[in-house]
Structure formats: C-alpha cells, structure tokens
Amino acid sequence: RKEVEQDPGPFNVPEGATVAFNCTYSNSASQSFFWYRQDCRKEPKLLMSVYSSGNEDGRFTAQLNRASQYISLLIRDSKLSDSATYLCVVNNGNNRLAFGKGNQVVVIP
Amino acid sequence: NAGVTQTPKFQVLKTGQSMTLQCAQDMNHNSMYWYRQDPGMGLRLIYYSASEGTTDKGEVPNGYNVSRLNKREFSLRLESAAPSQTSVYFCASSEWSGPTNEKLFFGSGTQLSVL
C-alpha cells in the first residue's frame, strides 16, 4: 500500500458548486497532515494544515479521520481560480514527509 | 523578498553530462531540500540539509550529490546524467530542522531533460 494515496481526478466542478476529495495514508503513526496547492507548471504552496478537530479557512475546510486514516478537503462556492492540483502531505513518522500525487480540480464556468 | 530562488529554469543534457542546480533562500531558514516530481508520482525527496554543514539522503539519492554551501545556498549536482533523471526539480526551505517540518517554501522549479 502506498504511503499516501489520492484519486488524481480530474474533479470537474461547476463554478459556485462544492467539491470534496479525500486522501488516505498508510502509516497509523503519522503525526501531522497538510494540503498544498500546485498550479500547472508551478511550485507547490501550502494551503492549510489539517488539525485533529478539523479546521476551516474561508471556503476551504479540512478534516482528519484517524480511525479510517484519511484526510479530506472541501471547497465551497468554487471559483475559477481554484482550478489546481491539491497535494496531500503526511508526516509519516519516519522523519520524512510523504506527498500524494494530487487531486486535480477543474472549475468549469 | 525573493523567497527561494533556483536556477536554471530549464536545462537539456545529453546522457553522461554533468550539471549543478543552484538554490538560494533569503528567509534565514535552517533547513533546505531537493525534490523531484515526475508525472503521475508525488514529490520525492532526493536530499535534505537540516542545518548549515549537514546533509542527508532522502528517498531517491542515487545519482545525485549535494552541497550546503552556507545557510542560504544548497546545490544539487548530477555527475553523469541519465534519462531516468528527466524530471522537474524543486528546491525548498523551511524554518525548522529536519524533513518533518511541513511548512515548505518551494522554488519555481527546474525542468530537466536528459537525452
């Protein structure tokens, strides 16, 4: 089983709609979790951390489910500018970060 | 404030040629990293440097060497390029020591093709 798994998509979502996707991780000892955003041919940038209690940043909500070993990202009221690939990043407990392949989101006008 | 600057942005090499990718950060970060990103795969760590004067292997170090020249600069060298090293390379830095710090700041990337 891969350390971090994401469905690459693409996730086609109409402008103004809500889109959500998950990331599963294999190491139950993983300590911390993050979402990074990567635009086409650009570098990844930190979007938000994922806390145990869940957290929200504007239209973005991240949640962690330790029992089932997944994290999720929900985007409400999608904007065209939200089109990007969202990378799941997990501290896997072996002193190393693990990156998922990313969920590609395409917001359609 | 430039953040993380890496050069060159594009490079084409022939098999067996050598080159060095340069990276510099102006955020006074202790830790610096080199990743590669291949289609259909997540970013993979090549080498990292937790602090000035130290370097450690990451997940895919074979075929690469690094130098932490000073606190600002961390270079990646390919001694004898191979087609399997065709990839996009990202340099990154972070405030804390070690590769477990997740708040990474990335450079804009180097597209490397090895023919």
Question: Residue B74's Cα: distance from chain center in Å?
Answer: 7
CB contact, 8 Å: B61 with chain A? no
Q: Tell me the β-bridge partners of B75.
A: B67
| Closest residue of chain B to A93, computed from CA coordinates | B100
- Greatest alpha-carbon pair distance for chain A in Å reads 43
Q: Are B64 and B71 in contact (CB under 8 A)?
A: no
Report the sign of the C-alpha dihedral through residues B17, B13, B105, B103, in that order: negative
- For residue B13, the model assigns a pLDDT of 97
Q: How does pLDDT run across B77-87, given as a tens digit for each residue?
A: 999 999 999 99
The pLDDT profile of chain B, 115 residues, written as one tens digit per residue, is 689 999 999 999 999 999 999 999 999 998 899 999 998 888 999 999 988 889 999 999 999 999 998 999 999 999 999 999 999 999 999 876 555 556 889 999 999 999 9
CB contact, 8 Å: A55 with chain B? no
Q: How does pLDDT run across A13-32, given as a tens digit for each residue?
A: 999 999 999 999 998 888 88
Minimal CA separation from A88 to chain B, in Å: 9
- For residue B6, the model assigns a pLDDT of 96
Cβ neighbours of A94 (radius 10 Å): 13
Chain B contacts in chain A segment 62-91 (CB below 8 A): 87, 89, 91
Token look-up 């093709």 returns B113
Q: How does pLDDT run across A32-62, given as a tens digit for each residue?
A: 899 999 999 899 999 998 988 889 999 999 9
- B108–A87 CB contact, under 8 Å: no
Residues of chain A contacting residue B99, judged by C-beta atoms under 8 Å apart: 95-97
Q: Are A20 and A76 in contact (CB under 8 A)?
A: no
Question: Residue A9's Cα: distance from chain center in Å?
Answer: 12
- A43–B100 CB contact, under 8 Å: no
